[in-house]
Structure 1
Amino acid sequence: MQSNGEIWGGALPDDVVVEILSRLPPKPFFRSKCVSKTWLALSSPASRLNKHLQPTLRGFFWETRFQSGFTNISGGIDEVDATLSALPYHAVHDRCQIMDCCNGLLLVKCWFGCPTIEHMYVYNPATRKHIFIELLPPLSPKETFYGENFSLAFQPQDQSQFHVVCFRHSHNQNVCSNIFFTFSSNSGKWRQGENLECDLHVAYTPKPIFLDGKLHLRTEAHKVVSVDPKNNTSVVTNFDFLGLATDDISEIGQSQGLLHFMSLNEFHMMSIWVPETIHPQNWILKHQLSLDGMLFVSPWYWNLTLHPEKDALFVHLGNGRILSIELQTAKSNDICVFSDRLCSTFWLYMPCFLV
């Protein structure tokens, strides 16, 4: 194979260059793109072969009322900007809050100054790149504000585009307004979506799941609203058909390419359902296990997240501890303890080096 790239006065075949690049750790890999135009062009096929650049579980980003943080559980050298230090104006921001994490990217909101100025970014902690997000227009003076939930939708295969979805709940002269908006990185603008039923309040810490082009969020009363951000449409699924009690705790998750619906009853019995392969509208019970005896705080303080590749569940107990539970055997292990025990939510982090 001929090569147009030269290094140290001699030519290297393209397949040899790809082999070299595929073995480099992240920092040397990205620096190698500056060697020549040929190496830059060959970095794309090399990145697909480079094991160091593949999305693997590195740890947890977590959020409290006062700060954000990162806990590394991989045991290797940390290539992640855990303190978000590369964000613009990082030194002057009084507070940076992680709103969501999706496929290696973070949605971050920052405040600084008096009167307070807000900025919002989509940020890649692995490559330290960011994109500024235009804020939503403010409410009218007649509206009473009740809350906003922001979620990020990004697929690594679609490197050129991401979406941000916002659910805004307010009242205007006793009329409920429960609207979602979508922001597209291609247009750089927000679009108003549908006005949903008033009781479809997105959960305070919704832990959205982006799968198959749709963003899924848990609402109250065992319902899930699924938004197609490209088409600005939504579908609501009511999981009452699973026979859940009103006071059961529910959550959604994603593992091995399937959306999962989880519920926990008053006896600490956890049930996990997945859609049927042939008839996705039908849901089947995949796992059922008792968590009684292994959990020491009220379930209302738990955060549940599925492992994206294995039949395992991560549970944050509300006291700073993270447990890993094997769903087949119910065997549990302590993974880590957050430095801030007031952690309100956490996200599994698998870095994306492609954007």
Structure 2
Amino acid sequence: MCILGKIGSDSFIPRRNDCCLWSKLCDNLVVEILCRLPPKNLITSKCVSKLWNRLITDVCVPNFSKTAALGGFFFLVEERLVIRDQFFLHYVSSDGQCLSANKTVVKSLSALLPFKFNFKNLIHSCNGLLLFVNFVTGSIPQYYVCNPLTKQCIEIPRNIERERLASDCGEELQSFAALAFEPWKSCHYKVVSFNNWRNYCLKKTVNFDVFSSDTGGWVSHTMPLDAPTHELGWIRYAVYLNGVVYRISCEKYLLQFDINKLNARATELPKRDAINTCGFIGVSGNHLHFSSRVDPTLFVWFLEDHSRWVLKHSISINNLFDNRPLITSRATFVRAWAFDPNSEAIYFGCNRAILRYQVENQVLEVVHTIEFDKHAPGSNYILIPYFPCVVILKGIPNPLQAYSSMSNSTSMGKDYD
């Protein structure tokens, strides 16, 4: 059996006198061993040899990405002694145990991004990548794609053509965007930017621009969408799953944009006339889920065949409230904030805590307690999920970023232990 040695404090590679033993192992066995390494060690092991680089890139990374566990959530916090509209970005691990990481993750992102950001600047998270936007008055928003684990930040080229067209039409420039990224299929990602929809009711068409890291350029698309709404304003949150970007419109319809087949459709949300709010969408078990409250019950449905809603859970809000650790107001505990993609757990929040409800055994537990001088606004109702991603982003890194090179193996990923 091979003995693994250490380089630095956290990287595992074979010691020099054991290389002959490793050379006798078949590729399948090497892959089996490598796939058992922690994410950051798997990344740094690519530096060992060309063979390991190929095996990790082509085999280990897709396998790891398919089974990656939920790392944690980004969420909005306001400091009680700070003026209003100061929306700070905070992070909490999914189990609430990694307190040191909770405090350093956002600080690490500050070293990657070339501008001062808050919660509003983080607009999407997709399978380990984060999409940030820097709002520039009178100009196309500047997007950045970050991988916190590999400490990379890619500045997305500006869409100058869209900026010119918007200026000629006198339209307001938009910052609605989402990531499309499936690391088990490809190391490349896409940024989908949605344009101004002011004239939708006249044209019944939608248009959006797609940036591909594979080509390095933007492509515009226009397609029909027969939505029974006069305006297609939407809530902030988006979900990407199996080639489709999902958003909820203010008129309580699910909008689906297939960026591969280039078609769009609108599906009425379940109990649309009964729900008081737009509800929440998320991924669980490789299905899109929708949750909303209809007094006194919290319903959860999943979408089948892109058109049919199937009821999955109906949960009594009164029963949840009766088992209410740290919940002081029923009004702040009425909707789901996030789904666990790999289990039946549902995450809730109140202004003092983040909680997890295990549906199978009906247990409500505290995951994270918010500091006494801060609170999570009840109007937020969103936890942005984050998964550790071992994909090395391709492209020209931002020169202001803290990421130097893969050879800096001892420092990579320390903030995410």
Question: Taking structure 1 as the reference length, what is the TM-score of the superposition?
Answer: 0.79
Distance 1:29 1:289, change over 3 A: closer
**1:120 maps onto 2:143 in alignment:** yes
| Distance in 2 (alpha carbons) for counterparts of 1:232 and 1:61 | 31
Question: Taking structure 2 as the reference length, what is the TM-score of the superposition?
Answer: 0.68
1:283 is aligned to 309
- Deviation (angstroms), 1:334: 1.5
| Distance in 1 (alpha carbons) for counterparts of 2:64 and 2:157 | 35
1:298 is aligned to 331
Q: How many residues align?
A: 341
| Distance in 2 (alpha carbons) for counterparts of 1:335 and 1:31 | 31
Aligned with residue 110 of structure 1, among 127, 130, 134: 134
User: Alignment partner of 2:176: what SS?
Assistant: strand
The root-mean-square deviation of aligned C-alpha atoms, in Å, is 3.9
1:68 is aligned to 89
User: Alignment partner of 1:33: what SS?
Assistant: helix
**1:83 maps onto 2:117 in alignment:** no
- Mean Cα deviation higher: 321-330 or 213-222: 321-330
- Deviation (angstroms), 1:141: 6.5
- Mean Cα deviation higher: 96-105 or 27-36: 27-36
Distance 1:167 1:298, change over 3 A: farther
Name the aligned partner's letter for residue 287 of structure 2.
L
Name the aligned partner's letter for residue 245 of structure 2.
L
Distance 1:161 1:20, change over 3 A: closer
User: Within 5 Å, which residues of 2 pair with 1:1-355?
Assistant: 7-8=16-17, 10-11=19-20, 12=22, 13-15=24-26, 17-18=30-31, 20-44=33-57, 47=60, 54-63=67-76, 65-74=86-95, 75=97, 78=101, 82-83=105-106, 85=108, 90=113, 92-95=114-117, 97-110=121-134, 119-136=142-159, 137-138=162-163, 139-140=166-167, 143=170, 145=172, 148-169=175-196, 171=198, 179-185=206-212, 186-187=214-215, 188-194=217-223, 198-203=230-235, 205-206=236-237, 208-239=238-269, 242=271, 244-245=273-274, 247-265=276-294, 267-276=295-304, 281-292=307-318, 293=321, 294=324, 296-298=329-331, 304-317=337-350, 319-338=351-370, 340-342=374-376, 344=380, 345-355=382-392
Contact 1:33/1:43 (<8 A) preserved:
yes
Contact 1:169/1:178 (<8 A) preserved:
no
| Distance in 1 (alpha carbons) for counterparts of 2:192 and 2:58 | 32
- Deviation (angstroms), 1:9: 8.1
- Mean Cα deviation higher: 251-260 or 297-306: 297-306
| Distance in 1 (alpha carbons) for counterparts of 2:358 and 2:333 | 21
What is the CA deviation profile of residues 26-66 of structure 1, one whole-angstrom value per residue up to 9, with x for unaligned ones?
Answer: 33333322222223233347736987995112211224553
What is the CA deviation profile of residues 268-298 of structure 1, one whole-angstrom value per residue up to 9, with x for unaligned ones?
Answer: 311122245xx66433322111113346253
Distance 1:53 1:303, change over 3 A: closer
Name the aligned partner's letter for residue 247 of structure 1.
N
Q: Which ranges in structure 2 are unaligned for 5 or more consecutive residues?
A: 1-13, 78-85, 393-417
Distance 1:86 1:346, change over 3 A: closer
2:81 is aligned to none
Contact 2:275/2:292 (<8 A) preserved:
no
| Distance in 2 (alpha carbons) for counterparts of 1:316 and 1:79 | 17
Q: Which ranges in structure 1 are unaligned for 5 or more consecutive residues?
A: none
Distance 1:14 1:50, change over 3 A: farther
Contact 1:148/1:169 (<8 A) preserved:
no
| Distance in 1 (alpha carbons) for counterparts of 2:57 and 2:242 | 24
- Deviation (angstroms), 1:237: 0.5
Distance 1:160 1:184, change over 3 A: farther
Name the aligned partner's letter for residue 262 of structure 1.
S
- Mean Cα deviation higher: 285-294 or 297-306: 297-306
User: Alignment partner of 1:140: what SS?
Assistant: helix
- Deviation (angstroms), 1:299: 5.4
Distance 1:146 1:322, change over 3 A: farther
Distance 1:313 1:34, change over 3 A: same
Name the aligned partner's letter for residue 235 of structure 1.
R
| Distance in 2 (alpha carbons) for counterparts of 1:175 and 1:46 | 49
- Deviation (angstroms), 1:142: 5.7
Name the aligned partner's letter for residue 186 of structure 2.
Q
- Mean Cα deviation higher: 78-87 or 251-260: 78-87
Distance 1:261 1:127, change over 3 A: same
